[in-house]
Amino acid sequence: MFGLFETATPTQAAHAVLGTPIDAQPAPGQNVAVFGCGCFWGAEKGFWRLPGVVSTAVGYAGGSAERPSYNQVCSGRSGHSEVVRVVWDTALVDFSDLLKLFWECHDPTQGDRQGNDRGSQYRSVIYLDDPSLMELAQASRQAYQLLLSGAGFGPITTELLSHQTFWYAEPYHQQYLAKPGSRPYCSAQPSGLRLGAFEGASYKLGPRVWNSYDWSVAHCVLRGDNAPIQLA
C-alpha cells in the first residue's frame, strides 16, 4: 500500500511545461499537497502557473481501488476524485497562496459535480498529511464559507483528509492543456469571490499574480498562457 506521497511510478518523466520530474519528492524547503477541484486538466494548469510551484501531476485519490484507470474512476465505482499533486518552494509561495487559488478556481459547494461534469470524481478535495497545513486549510475553508454564505451560496462540501493514496493518471492526462492537439476544456464554475486574509495566512504572491486569474471570465484558465506567471 502506498502512502499519500509514496506514489506509483509515472511513465512520463518530465513536466511538459516546467521541465521538472512529475514525481518530484519534496526537497528541503519544499512541500506537497493534493487538490481536487473538478476536471483535473484545467485545475493542473491553474497550479503550474503559480510562481514557486516546482512540479504538478494529475492523478486519482480518495478511493479504495489500487492503480485505478481513468475509465474506472469515471465509472464512479472506484471512489476516487480527479486530483492535482502540487510540489512547491516554501520560500517563494506560501500554502495560503495555494489555498487562495484552490478556493477561487472552482465552486466548492457543488458536491459531486463541477459545472457540467457530474460524478463523485469531480468532488472538491484537499488531501495532505502535515497537521499545520491541515489547520491552515480548515481556517481558509471557514473564511471562504463566510464569503460564500454572504453571497447566497450553500455550504462548502470540500473533503479535507489525510493519509490518502495518490495514483498517477495516464500520461496523456499529464499537463494535457499544454500539449499540441489538446481539447480546450474546463468545466469549473468559480464563484467569483476572492479570498482575503484569514487566520494563519501569510501570502507571498501579490496582485500581479492574482490579476492573471480573471474569475469573472468563464473557464479563464484556458485563456491564459501555459507558461508560469512572471513576478517581474
Collect contacts of 220-226 with beta carbons under 8 A, ≥24 apart: 220/190, 221/42, 221/45, 221/46, 221/105, 221/177, 221/186, 221/188, 222/42, 222/177, 222/184, 222/185, 222/186, 224/45, 224/49, 225/49, 226/17, 226/45, 226/49, 226/177, 226/178
* 97-145 residue pLDDT tens: 999 999 999 999 999 988 888 889 999 999 999 999 999 999 999 999 9
Amino acid 116: pLDDT: 81
Domains and CATH numbers, the chain: 30-222 (3.30.1060.10)
Q: Tell whether the model's pLDDT for residue 10 goes beyond 70.
A: no
Amino acid 1: pLDDT: 29
How many residues make up the chain in this entry?
232
* C-alpha grid cell, residue 123: 468532488
Are the CB atoms for 33 and 54 separated by under 8 Å? no
105 is an active site residue: no
Model pTM score: 0.93
Q: Which of 37, 39, 186, 220 is catalytic?
A: 39
Question: Any idea what the Cα angle at residue 28 is, between residues 23 and 31, rounded to 5°?
Answer: 55
* 157-197 residue pLDDT tens: 999 999 999 999 999 999 999 998 887 777 788 999 999 99
Between 131-150 and 95-104, two packed helices, what is the crossing angle to 10 degrees? 40
